[in-house]
Amino acid sequence: MSGPRPLGAALVAAVLLAVAACGGGGGGGGVTPPPPPPPPSQGITFTTASGASTNVVALRSVGQTGARITLEVRAEVVTGLYGVAFDLTYPTSLFRLTSRSEGSFLSQSGADDTTFQAVETTPGTVVVGISRLGPLSGASGSGPLITLVFDAIANGSGNFSFSRNQAFAAEGTPLGVGWLGGSAQVAL
């Protein structure tokens, strides 16, 4: 007795015929789309100016968190450094100076007494003076002279540069050291 087929069996048969006609659903051999591009790089990139790596005072990045960067002005392999004085200019269109503190380099080897000044005299210019006090010899080696913290306030690029640079020995005589600033790229 052959009667009408139930609707469900006819539907299953139609689906099986459609799958067989497509070649078994093997994907059709299409081209895989390329992966999406990576998101734009965000943050602050700081690059110290190129130059000698010894007998210099250099600006170096020592950390970054979000839109905040910490920079150190460092003595790099110097001999007999008793004190420094300099102006550091930075791009006010990109950064706001939020803090400054004395580094530990000149207070090494029993120099408990140092004098430290870091004043932003005009927007974008920090005037710095750091010196040992008393009858001590100059410090030798490498280490931080001052730590500066900046908050990024806009995207772009700009330079950090030294001017009116002075480095001196315990006798007050000038020391010939190089000065390396740097540049920053901000992408918030």
Please return the burial class of 12, using the count of CB atoms within 10 Å of its CB with bins 0-12, 13-18 and 19+: exposed
**Where are the chain's structural domains?**
55-187
Q: Do residues 61 and 71 touch, judged by C-beta distance below 8 A?
A: yes
What pLDDT, on a 0 to 100 scale, did the predictor assign at position 30? 61
Q: What number of helices (H) and strands (E) belong to the chain?
A: 1, 11
CA–CA separation, 5 and 10 (whole Å): 7
Going by pLDDT thresholds of 50, 70 and 90, the confidence category of residue 18 is: very low
Q: Do residues 110 and 94 touch, judged by C-beta distance below 8 A?
A: no
Instruction: Say if domain 55-187 classifies as CATH 1.10.15.40.
Output: no
Going by pLDDT thresholds of 50, 70 and 90, the confidence category of residue 33 is: confident
* Over residues 15-33, mean pLDDT: 52
What pLDDT, on a 0 to 100 scale, did the predictor assign at position 122? 96
This model's pTM is above 0.85: no
* Over residues 58-67, mean pLDDT: 95
* Over residues 131-143, mean pLDDT: 93
